[in-house]
Amino acid sequence: MDKPALTLTDRFGRRIEYLRLSVTDRCDLRCTYCLPKGFKDFEEPEHWLTFDEIERLLGAFARVGVNRIRLTGGEPLLRRNLPELAARLHRLPGIRDISLSTNATQLSKYAGALKNAGVARINVSLDSLKRERFARIAGRDCLDRVIAGLMAAKEAGFTPIKINMVALSGVNDDEIDDMVEFCMAHGFVLRLIETMPMGVTGRNAAYFDLQPVKRRLQEKFDLVEGVVPGGGPARYLQTPDGKFSVGFITPISQHFCATCNRVRLVVDGTLFMCLGQNEKFEFRPLLRAGARDADLETAIRTAIELKPERHEFHETPQKIVRFMSATGG
Ligand code: SAM
């Protein structure tokens, strides 16, 4: 008989079953709200968890109750042999969903291999469909590559493919309707995201309140409330036939901490309990000091005890000095 699945529950009764794994803190883009131009303070390669260490640690997470993993970064496709890591994690007992967040600059090269490795779902960041504007926001003139990557993912059969658009006041807020139409035409799910005050770049970003947009899009496109698999914190609106969905990730105007089910493991083996707080637990020293599997499982339970109730982006927006790319958004 199969062993009953264990559950990992925090002090507030939230079940933690989702782990976001940042496989690198490096990125080939410099989005204005994320990583500052000229930033060089990246993690040393000898501090990166190896694939063997990641597989071992995530195996322990799976044994105590995590069942979903998202590969993120930085830009995860910059980590060499990512499909091999995905395949290894996909084979871990208890893991039933592997997904990827990417900027898609390298996606046309890897879409097929990722699909074969067991990655089921892909989120692609795309803040503008206008070439020059994209280049201004992302710090690189490569919209064509991103679109080619997206189309390769569609061709490879990923479903759903979600587009993450960070809404920036006075920068791309006039393009939201175009993005809705683009996603409707291609069968993509759209997710609109409010900027979070992570690091100086996040704090200086042109915050745009999405609540009025939600009401406006609902009327214009006849949308109804809906649910999307793996939808996480996004609140969704859909066309009545369910063919198109738009989600709103609104950590500032309407936070969703009460249902938070996730933690974030970064490339050097640090586990962050919340995007908007500093509580953390270091796993690399344990892994490299020969911890036994049972020690890792105990350490995971100890770490989860540290998970705070909620972020305080409103009250103390200056608190988080980490950039989103370091924690893995
Ligand atoms: N490189 C991958 C990508 O582009 O999706 C994964 C990492 S990226 C940090 C993950 C997501 O975080 C992206 O959708 C990005 O737009 C978003 N992001 C980065 N900084 C942010 C901020 N300050 N506020 C809100 N979202 C942010």
CATH number where 124 lies? 3.20.20.70
* Side-chain-facing half-sphere of 257: CA atoms under 13 Å: 18
Q: What is the pLDDT of residue 5?
A: 59
- For residue 279, the enclosing domain spans 18-162+257-327
Phi-psi region of 279 (alpha: psi -120 to 50; beta: other; left: phi over 0): beta
172 lines ligand 1 (CB under 6 A): no
Burial label for 19, CB within 10 Å (0-12, 13-18, 19+), is: buried
8 A C-beta contact, residue 48 and residue 24: yes
Within 10 Å of residue 160's Cβ, how many Cβ atoms? 16
327 lines ligand 1 (CB under 6 A): no
In a domain, 170, yes or no: no
103 lines ligand 1 (CB under 6 A): yes
| Closest ligand 1 atom to Cα of 196 | 24
In a domain, 3, yes or no: no
Crossing angle for the helix pair 293-304 and 51-64, nearest 10 degrees? 70
Q: What is the 166 CA–ligand 1 centroid distance (Å)?
A: 8
Within 10 Å of residue 212's Cβ, how many Cβ atoms? 10
8 A C-beta contact, residue 75 and residue 103: yes
Could you report the per-residue pLDDT of 140-183, keeping only the tens digit for each? 999 999 999 999 999 999 999 999 999 999 999 999 999 999 99
Q: Are strands 262-265 and 270-272 parallel, antiparallel or unpaired?
A: antiparallel
Strand partners, 290: none
More confident position, 16 or 203: 16
In a domain, 223, yes or no: no
8 A C-beta contact, residue 218 and residue 231: no
8 A C-beta contact, residue 160 and residue 150: no
Specify the number of domains making up the chain. 1
Q: Can you tell me which residue has the tokens 């529950």? A: 9
Residue 2, pLDDT > 60, answer no
- Side chain identity, residue 39: F
Could you report the per-residue pLDDT of 259-302, keeping only the tens digit for each? 999 999 999 999 999 988 999 999 999 999 999 999 999 999 99
In a domain, 190, yes or no: no
- Which of 101, 107, 121, 137 is the best mutation target for the ligand 1 pocket, counting ligand atoms within 8 Å of the beta carbon and taking the most? 101
137 lines ligand 1 (CB under 6 A): no
- Report how far residue 281's alpha carbon sits from residue 290's, in angstroms, rounded to the nearest whole number: 17
| Closest ligand 1 atom to Cα of 127 | 16
In a domain, 283, yes or no: yes
DSSP letter, residue 50: P
- Which of 28, 42, 166, 272 is the best mutation target for the ligand 1 pocket, counting ligand atoms within 8 Å of the beta carbon and taking the most? 166
Phi-psi region of 187 (alpha: psi -120 to 50; beta: other; left: phi over 0): left
Residue nearest to atom 8 of ligand 1 (CA): 329
Per-residue pLDDT band for 3 (boundaries 50, 70, 90) equals low
Could you report the per-residue pLDDT of 91-104, keeping only the tens digit for each? 999 999 999 999 99
Could you report the per-residue pLDDT of 183-241, keeping only the tens digit for each? 999 999 999 999 998 888 998 899 999 999 999 999 999 999 988 766 677 789 999 99
198 lines ligand 1 (CB under 6 A): yes
In a domain, 46, yes or no: yes
24 lines ligand 1 (CB under 6 A): no
Residue 4, pLDDT > 60, answer no
Strand partners, 22: 72
Q: What is the pLDDT of residue 230?
A: 66
- Report how far residue 133's alpha carbon sits from residue 141's, in angstroms, rounded to the nearest whole number: 9
In a domain, 246, yes or no: no
Could you report the per-residue pLDDT of 283-292, keeping only the tens digit for each? 999 999 999 9
The residue among 305, 302, 268, 303 whose CA lies nearest residue 287 is: 268
Q: What is the pLDDT of residue 323?
A: 82
Beta-strand (E) ranges in the chain? 18-22, 68-72, 97-102, 121-125, 161-166, 189-193, 224-226, 235-238, 245-249, 262-265, 270-272, 280-282
22 lines ligand 1 (CB under 6 A): no
More confident position, 36 or 152: 152
62 lines ligand 1 (CB under 6 A): no
In a domain, 287, yes or no: yes
125 lines ligand 1 (CB under 6 A): yes
Per-residue pLDDT band for 137 (boundaries 50, 70, 90) equals very high
Q: What is the pLDDT of residue 252?
A: 84
34 lines ligand 1 (CB under 6 A): yes
Per-residue pLDDT band for 1 (boundaries 50, 70, 90) equals very low
**Mean pLDDT, rounded, of the chain:** 94
Tokens of 57: 């640690």
Q: What is the 65 CA–ligand 1 centroid distance (Å)?
A: 26
